[in-house]
Chain A
Amino acid sequence: MRKLIRPVRAKLLAAKKNTGGAGEAPVEKPKDNTDPDKASSFLDADLASNLARIKGIFQNCSDIVYREFLFAQREDIRLVLIYTDGLADKHQVSEQIMRALSLEAPMAAPDADITKASAYHLIKERGLCVHQVKETDRLEDVIEAVLSGDTVLLVEGHPFAIINGMRGGEARPVSESENEMVVRGPRESFVETLRTNTALLRRKIKNSDLKLEMMQLGRLTKTDVAVVYVKGIANDKLVEEVKSRLQGIELDSVLESGYVEELIEDNTWSPFPQINHTEKPDRLAARLLEGRVGIMVDGTPIVLTVPTVFVEFLHAAEDYYERFQIATAVRIVRFLSMFLSLVMPSFYIAIITFHQEMLPTALLLSLAAQREAVPFPAFVETLLMELTFEILREAGIRLPRQVGQAVSIVGALIVGEAAVQAGLVAPATVIVVAFTGISSFVYFYSASFAIRLLRFPMIVLSATLGLYGLISVLIIIVVHLCALRSFGTPYLSPIAPMSLGDMKDLVVRAPWWAMFTRPRLIGWKNLKRQEPGQEPVPPETRTGKKGGEGNTGRG
């Protein structure tokens, strides 16, 4: 697949580099340059004609506001404010632009000679009380600014527009993460507004090496996308690769980071997610500091991180905050549940159908007794139960909260209890399926999709070929995972290719003082995380005395 996709992207990129400017707004600009009536894309000195053109473009857009007023109460200097209702901060617009320009400007500069010619300069340099101001002479920039929530000011007699950064409007406040739960650790999670998200990240990494490069994706939606990385830790080639893959995207719309993900991943046919995501600023910061690159998309709290290795899905943010022994123990549980959620039903079928001799006699008898009345073979029974479970789970996600209880009653009581009572399924099958389902919730949700999906072919093969079928599917999965790469990093690293140095953050989470290097395959550019040898030493031993030798206490 890569062979098919790459050349096209390369060509697109080459085309872009030839025509486009220095990288800003790469999608739209080249097309405008080829526009026959080039002159019309620039602003006029005449305010009325500018306004007419803008109004023409925004025809039937009822949310665009045009506010005409006078600069310093002078009838000859007319100003127009254009902004999108709901996107601009109304309070700031009226206070800091209109009030400042029409009422306060003459008072602030009584000696200044307010003429039509100097008005523009006065407004820009002295009148406006806006923290962020940009200037443009192009019509598209004006349109884009208005649509992005900025407020545009046009001045009579000047072919320039002042873009005031006063984005506001309704946004969800930063709240607790709902998908990545932690007991210990920061609660905040990203929101839909990109600027808020970058601020949350900047709060975590207060260093000028944290770079946030912006670009716009989506021909119609013009979604802001930020490529974030820590310069000096992230591999430059990786950053370039991420940017070039992003620039190769020619979509109509980018409404969620999932759109981006599907266009930049390495193997689109694999069920395994090759790009990780998070909604927690602390996790993003941790990954950036390992040398990864983040992709923030406006309009979604889900931030993508690349490159991704498989074991990331089995790690949780909390592993790094909890004491390391506990983190390690929990990780072992997580690895185990991943494995169980994949093979448990297939193993059950294989044992019941082909390899009964593996079971202790007592257990075998009890299973046989349970299954005596069941009309289906173990395969059909398990498949039905698995399907039921998937349906219940999907229902659990989609249903309105008020009916949740009803579904759980139906799910637990009717499907579980009644089906067993009616002799449709064996209790052992219910246990296996329920346990499988629960295990698949233990690790990261997006990876569990792949496992859930792969469970079904595995069930089928185990029912036909027994354990051999199960092993065959496992082998294929492992080979497939070995073949996968995420932005140049082998998906199964550090297990294969084995990197002993990185084993300290695989199943075992080494204490922080021992993790003085970054993951080798990702952060090789700047391997050293901190000075080694920071193991805490209690005071008794620090002074050279042996502990317990008449040393009765700290005081």
Chain B
Amino acid sequence: MREILEEGKISSRQAVFLMITMIFATVILSVPAITVKHARQDAWISIGLAIVAGLFIARLVTSLGLRFPDRTIFEYPAEILGRWPGKLVGFLYIMWFLDINAGVIREYGEFLVTAFRMATPLIVFNLVAVAIAAYTVRNGLEVFTRANEIFFPLIMGLIIITSILVSRETDIQRLLPVADVDAMSIFKGAMVPLAWFGQIVAIALVIPYLSKPRESHQAAVTAVLVSGVIFMLVVSNAIAIFGPDLIDAMVFPGLNKYRMVNVANFLGRLEALAMTAWVTAGFVKISIFYWAAALGISQVLELKDYRPLVLPVGGVLMAMSILDHPSAIHLQHFVAQVFPFFALTFEAAIPLLLLLAALARGKGEKLG
């Protein structure tokens, strides 16, 4: 058992929960504004498209992963492409996971600072987030998967309950007319959510630790489908409350929605609850990518254990989260304009090329 870097085994259900939380954590935050900007009240069509494309990515990644059911995406490129090119691909993935995580951490901090107008500097929030994630990652995949099993129903429950509570404010008329914008805008609106759904590529790391790797197909597809549909409902809900013009002007429409809650003049201003759900989900996401980066480094460098890397990687993440983007506006711009292409390279293009190469060279098991 000890040769395996990460000895925990997780069930398919746990994997589904983990992936849903991972995708859902940040997509709800800034993506609605971007999608609505392009597709306006037809944002739900964009998201529908993104879900379909996301399902293809999920299928692609698991097909590739199941050809090497006991290896991660850091290891099997070496088998497909040869040692050094494979290591290069692994290295690129490490960089990608670090970068994407730095973005998540930054967004996490910016969200708390912006949304709650606290006097505390950004770096404190980032530091707390990374410190908790470091503790979690040291404990391993199995532990944060289990923790997520507790958080997941709470997060979903909070989101659903708050959505029901704001239902009084919704007006279905705001979703009309359907298909008012041109196809190009809808495609543009679909790109950013797709980049998020494509993060299902992380399942390529989890497959070796599944108790039944064969079920990863279903797991990945379920995760994309469920998180996609919930996201679609949440965005439609937000549009029905505010209308596309108002959302376009908001930074975090997912949060503003909860400010509208007012039940019996007692239960109001629920954004703190929404923040609770979001902070928890964001923490899970940070932990997964953090773990991915640390595990990736240890696997590419063929180390015995990833745990000694946890603190150094945390330091790098902290620095990147502060230095990558000079401001929140820059981050927002990056997410809207650059991130989809950057992300989809790693989420779809490279896995596709790897799968084709594996097929062409006959590497891996045929069962996938």
The docked-state distance in angstroms from the alpha carbon of A464 to that of B276 is 16
16 new A-B contacts, CB < 8 A, other than A464-B120, A475-B147, are A354-B118, A358-B269, A465-B118, A465-B124, A466-B118, A468-B125, A471-B275, A472-B132, A475-B132, A479-B143, A482-B143, A492-B146, A492-B150, A496-B146, A496-B149, A497-B11
Interface residues as binary, A12-47 with B (CB distance below 8 Å gives 1, 0 otherwise):
000000000000000000000000000000000000
- Whether A467 and B11, one on each chain, are in contact in the complex, defined by CB atoms closer than 8 angstroms, is no
A residues near B149, Cβ cutoff 8 Å? 495-498
B residues near A360, Cβ cutoff 8 Å? 265-266, 268
The docked-state distance in angstroms from the alpha carbon of A471 to that of B277 is 9
- Whether B280 and A475, one on each chain, are in contact in the complex, defined by CB atoms closer than 8 angstroms, is yes
- Whether A483 and B283, one on each chain, are in contact in the complex, defined by CB atoms closer than 8 angstroms, is no
**CB of B164 within 8 Å of the partner chain:** no
The docked-state distance in angstroms from the alpha carbon of A496 to that of B140 is 15
Interface residues as binary, B137-151 with A (CB distance below 8 Å gives 1, 0 otherwise):
001100110110111
**CB of B112 within 8 Å of the partner chain:** yes
Chain B residues packing against A (C-beta within 8 Å): 11, 13-14, 112, 116, 118, 120, 124-125, 128, 132, 135-136, 139-140, 143-144, 146-147, 149-151, 265-266, 268-270, 272, 275-276, 279-280, 283
**CB of A355 within 8 Å of the partner chain:** yes
- Whether B112 and A479, one on each chain, are in contact in the complex, defined by CB atoms closer than 8 angstroms, is no
The docked-state distance in angstroms from the alpha carbon of A465 to that of B131 is 15
B150 touches which one: A464, A469, A476, A482 (CB < 8 A)? A482
Q: How far is the CB of B222 from chain A (nearest CB, A)?
A: 16
- Whether B128 and A465, one on each chain, are in contact in the complex, defined by CB atoms closer than 8 angstroms, is yes
Q: How far is the CB of B283 from chain A (nearest CB, A)?
A: 6
The docked-state distance in angstroms from the alpha carbon of A471 to that of B270 is 15
The docked-state distance in angstroms from the alpha carbon of A358 to that of B266 is 9
Q: How many residues of A contact B (CB 8 A)?
A: 25
16 contacts between A and B (CB under 8 A): A354-B118, A355-B116, A358-B268, A358-B269, A464-B120, A469-B128, A471-B279, A476-B132, A478-B147, A479-B135, A479-B144, A479-B147, A482-B143, A482-B147, A497-B14, A498-B13
**CB of A111 within 8 Å of the partner chain:** no
The docked-state distance in angstroms from the alpha carbon of A475 to that of B275 is 14
**CB of A301 within 8 Å of the partner chain:** no
Residue of A nearest to B277 (CB): A471
The docked-state distance in angstroms from the alpha carbon of A482 to that of B132 is 14
B residues near A240, Cβ cutoff 8 Å? none
Q: How far is the CB of B14 from chain A (nearest CB, A)?
A: 7
The docked-state distance in angstroms from the alpha carbon of A479 to that of B118 is 27
Chain A contact residues: helix, strand, loop or mixed: helix
Which residues of A, 475-526, contact B by the 8 Å Cβ criterion?
Answer: 475-476, 478-479, 482-483, 490, 492, 495-498
A residues near B279, Cβ cutoff 8 Å? 468, 471-472, 475
**CB of A531 within 8 Å of the partner chain:** no
- Whether A467 and B275, one on each chain, are in contact in the complex, defined by CB atoms closer than 8 angstroms, is yes
Which among B135, B139, B272 has the greatest number of chain A C-beta atoms within 10 A?
Answer: B272
The docked-state distance in angstroms from the alpha carbon of A469 to that of B280 is 12
B residues near A394, Cβ cutoff 8 Å? none
**CB of A357 within 8 Å of the partner chain:** yes
Q: How far is the CB of A207 from chain B (nearest CB, A)?
A: 35
The docked-state distance in angstroms from the alpha carbon of A538 to that of B280 is 49
Q: How far is the CB of A192 from chain B (nearest CB, A)?
A: 40
- Whether B118 and A495, one on each chain, are in contact in the complex, defined by CB atoms closer than 8 angstroms, is no
Closest 4 CB pairs of A and B: A496-B146, A496-B149, A482-B146, A483-B139
The docked-state distance in angstroms from the alpha carbon of A51 to that of B132 is 68
A482 touches which one: B112, B120, B139, B272 (CB < 8 A)? B139
Residue of A nearest to B283 (CB): A475
- Whether A476 and B13, one on each chain, are in contact in the complex, defined by CB atoms closer than 8 angstroms, is no
B residues near A497, Cβ cutoff 8 Å? 11, 14, 146, 149
The docked-state distance in angstroms from the alpha carbon of A32 to that of B276 is 64
B residues near A475, Cβ cutoff 8 Å? 132, 147, 151, 279-280, 283
Which residues of A, 412-471, contact B by the 8 Å Cβ criterion?
Answer: 464-469, 471
- Whether B132 and A465, one on each chain, are in contact in the complex, defined by CB atoms closer than 8 angstroms, is no
The docked-state distance in angstroms from the alpha carbon of A475 to that of B132 is 8
Residue of B nearest to A351 (CB): B272
- Whether B147 and A465, one on each chain, are in contact in the complex, defined by CB atoms closer than 8 angstroms, is no
The docked-state distance in angstroms from the alpha carbon of A314 to that of B283 is 28
The docked-state distance in angstroms from the alpha carbon of A497 to that of B149 is 7
The docked-state distance in angstroms from the alpha carbon of A437 to that of B112 is 32
A residues near B150, Cβ cutoff 8 Å? 478, 482, 492, 495-496
Residue of B nearest to A492 (CB): B146
Which residues of A, 342-363, contact B by the 8 Å Cβ criterion?
Answer: 354-355, 357-358, 360
- Whether A471 and B143, one on each chain, are in contact in the complex, defined by CB atoms closer than 8 angstroms, is no
B residues near A355, Cβ cutoff 8 Å? 116, 272
The docked-state distance in angstroms from the alpha carbon of A444 to that of B266 is 34
The docked-state distance in angstroms from the alpha carbon of A475 to that of B265 is 31
A residues near B280, Cβ cutoff 8 Å? 471, 475
